[in-house]
Structure 1
Amino acid sequence: MIPLDRAAETYLRHIAIERGLSDHTLAAYRRDLATFTTWIATQPTVDSSGADRAGGAAVVGDVGRLARADLAGFVEHLATRDAPLAPRSIARMLSSVRSFTTFAAGEGWLPLDPGASVRPPKAPMRLPKAISVEDMERLLQAVDGDDPVQLRDRALLELLYATGARISEAVGLSVDDVTTLAAVDEDSDEDTDVSVVRVTGKGNKQRIVPLGSYARAAVDAYLVRARPLFAARGHATPALFLGARGARLSRQSAWLVIQAAAAAADLTEHVSPHTFRHSFATHLLEGGADVRVVQELLGHASVATTQIYTLVTADMLRDVYQTSHPRARR
């Protein structure tokens, strides 16, 4: 017999070493498993008819008694308790528990993985929120000074909108990731240089994304007139965006840059780092870009992930039609 709490601790040590998880991610796994084992401990070992209930692992302290009914009941509990969780939160918590039961089955503590057939509740599809081209222009223009911080912030914002990069991808860039590639102008057949950014995304997969002239000018101004001042305050680092002490700019600091710019632009809509990514994709599709090209630029593994943005543009078209066409108004 292996106590459930000891099995959970063994699993947490395993993923900490094998997956190299951050303290934040490991703490999330620990909280999820603690919620699960605490709930299991409150469950009876017999049902209302007096028959033995499948499961009851925590009551007898044996991970080997975990059953599908335990996980299914846990999902139902999360959805119906006094403070029910949203479907996405339930899915995340169930994922942690299922990962644990898969590990337990692999170790031979369970004859079968009880979580293999348990599915989370379906989450309602949430369309990504983009801001208009006009609002994006206002936001970018709101950071228009010449001091080092403003030059850095303008370069960061321009790059986010020009590339659709995730905030973690943007702050993870190195100076050498901004470069030029030789290309041929289709109209003149002459060689020309194209500015690009080499973005490292999820799973360390790299993609090349063009960098527009406005963004390249902002990045160049930062590199020449601001970054050397930041770099002189810290140790040598290849990071593109630097903080006040000369170290790589953190995600949290980049968040604050975006919030300050949105406030300066007097935008009423909530603006987050992902707003730039959503706006990048939506504006490209509105301009006639092929969805598979946008997929490559965003670094999506599946085009299905990108196609959600086509629903956003279709939604906008419908709204315009209903408010503008005389036969659509009622």
Structure 2
Amino acid sequence: MSITGEARASVVGREAQTELLATPTRTGHTVGALIAAWLGSFADSGATRAAYARDLREYVEWCTRRELDPLDVRLPEVQMYGAELAAATNPRTGRAFAASTRARKIAAVSSWYTFLVRAGAIDANPARDAARPRYDRQHSPTASVSERQAAQMLTASRDYRHRSLAPEAVALVMMLLIDLGIRVSELCHADLADLGQRDGLRVLTVRMKGGKVRTRPIPAPLVPVLDAYLAQRPDADTGALVVTRHCERINRHQVFRLVQTMAAEAGVPMPQRITPHSMRHTFNTIARERGAALEDRRDALGHSSAAVTQLYDHVAVSLTRDPAHLVAGATSETRETTPNSPE
């Protein structure tokens, strides 16, 4: 069967991109080597590096489709790219890209060009003055669950029969996400060697974004869950803390699916919107409502500043203090005490 026109264009596009990446720059380094060197500067943040790698790959593909050399583009071309992002659909959600996502993609492109300027590969950053989408930095689209729902998710995790994870592993993963509020990347990268003791407490060393390291306590309710998991942990070659039945390190996709499954098992509305990051919001909200200080929560979550933690607070507090609750309560009382109008 002959190759279709669309498939042929795809092949040609890949060949052109491969040729572009192998093209030497005036520094003597290839474009591909400069991309790798730039990504290497984000070694302390795997999630940022992965996101920026995707963002730049998409930009280079866009340039290739339009027969543009990314090292020769100017501001108008970057603006065109931004405009196309605004009109594009996110293939993962089927919806338009969020303004914050588009801003990050342009920021990634600009960051790469800044690196190229410093490396001597180009003279100026064409994305420096590119328009960035405006968005409310106090708004977070992350869904979260209540304290009651979190407890129900933990209960559901205790006896859940998972295809790839033992029940003890399922329970441990959910407690680490909810009771410690760790990131999915921190969970997946945790090793057995990160477990220890300090001041009479069981602890877990958590390696965070930006090279930060925190020693977190294993709370008393989590200790028996951890011990039950360790007692049945498969004898795997990997030193990973959490491993599957197949003796492989757990990955973020498995954690995402597990969280959504546990949300569904607990009866959480729209469980498909609940993510591992939702558990961090839940951790912060429960801790705040139970009296934990802002600085203690910021340190536990590994936030770069208290402003990030306060964003989590703003979302939760604005929902509970919204005057809509007062108005709805008042109108409800009025409806109950007002007799029906005569027909």
TM over 0.5: yes
* Aligned match for 1:137, one of 146, 151, 155: 151
CA distance in 1, matches of 2:204, 2:21: 45
Name the SS of the counterpart of 2:198 in structure 1: strand
Taking structure 1 as reference, are residues 8 and 278 closer, same or farther at Cα in structure 2, changes over 3 Å only? farther
The match for 2:103 is 91
Task: Give 1:212 shift.
Answer: 1.6
Task: Give 1:77 shift.
Answer: 4.1
Deviations 1:14-70 (A, max 9, x none): 23256458996645422222214545x5xxxxxxxxxxxxxxxx4xx6944x33333
The match for 2:185 is 168
Deviations 1:151-198 (A, max 9, x none): 11111111111110011101211223233321xxxxxxxxxx233321
Q: For residues 191-206 of structure 1, what are the structure 2 equivalents within 5 Å?
A: 193-206=200-213
The match for 1:265 is 266
Name the SS of the counterpart of 1:179 in structure 2: strand
Q: Which amino acid aligns with 2:152?
A: R
CA distance in 1, matches of 2:56, 2:313: 34
The match for 2:11 is none
CA distance in 2, matches of 1:287, 1:36: 52
Tell me if the contact between 2:38 and 2:115 (Cα under 8 Å) persists in the aligned partners.
no
Q: Which amino acid aligns with 2:79?
A: A
CA distance in 1, matches of 2:193, 2:70: 54
Deviations 1:131-154 (A, max 9, x none): 111111111111223988111111
RMSD: 3.4
The match for 2:230 is 223
State percent identity of aligned pairs. Answer: 24
Taking structure 1 as reference, are residues 62 and 209 closer, same or farther at Cα in structure 2, changes over 3 Å only? closer
* Aligned match for 2:319, one of 313, 316, 327: 316
CA distance in 1, matches of 2:300, 2:50: 29
Deviations 1:55-100 (A, max 9, x none): xxx4xx6944x33333234323433579964323322331332234
CA distance in 1, matches of 2:319, 2:54: 41
Name the SS of the counterpart of 1:245 in structure 2: coil
CA distance in 1, matches of 2:87, 2:160: 55
CA distance in 2, matches of 1:126, 1:8: 40
1:126 aligns with 2:140: yes
Tell me if the contact between 2:204 and 2:217 (Cα under 8 Å) persists in the aligned partners.
yes
Name the SS of the counterpart of 1:143 in structure 2: helix
Tell me if the contact between 1:179 and 1:197 (Cα under 8 Å) persists in the aligned partners.
yes
Q: For residues 1-330 of structure 1, what are the structure 2 equivalents within 5 Å?
A: 6=20, 10-17=30-37, 19-20=39-40, 26=53, 28-36=55-63, 38=65, 58=68, 63-64=71-72, 66-80=73-87, 85-124=97-136, 125-126=139-140, 128-145=142-159, 149-182=166-199, 193-224=200-231, 226-227=232-233, 230-231=234-235, 234-235=236-237, 237-270=238-271, 271-319=274-322, 322=326
CA distance in 2, matches of 1:194, 1:323: 48
CA distance in 2, matches of 1:109, 1:264: 54
CA distance in 1, matches of 2:182, 2:70: 46
CA distance in 2, matches of 1:97, 1:205: 26
The match for 1:54 is none
Taking structure 1 as reference, are residues 217 and 81 closer, same or farther at Cα in structure 2, changes over 3 Å only? closer
CA distance in 2, matches of 1:329, 1:306: 37
Task: Give 1:220 shift.
Answer: 1.3
Q: TM-score, normalised by structure 1?
A: 0.75
Q: Which amino acid aligns with 1:11?
A: V
Q: How many pairs align?
A: 292
CA distance in 2, matches of 1:18, 1:101: 9
Taking structure 1 as reference, are residues 12 and 304 closer, same or farther at Cα in structure 2, changes over 3 Å only? farther
Q: TM-score, normalised by structure 2?
A: 0.73
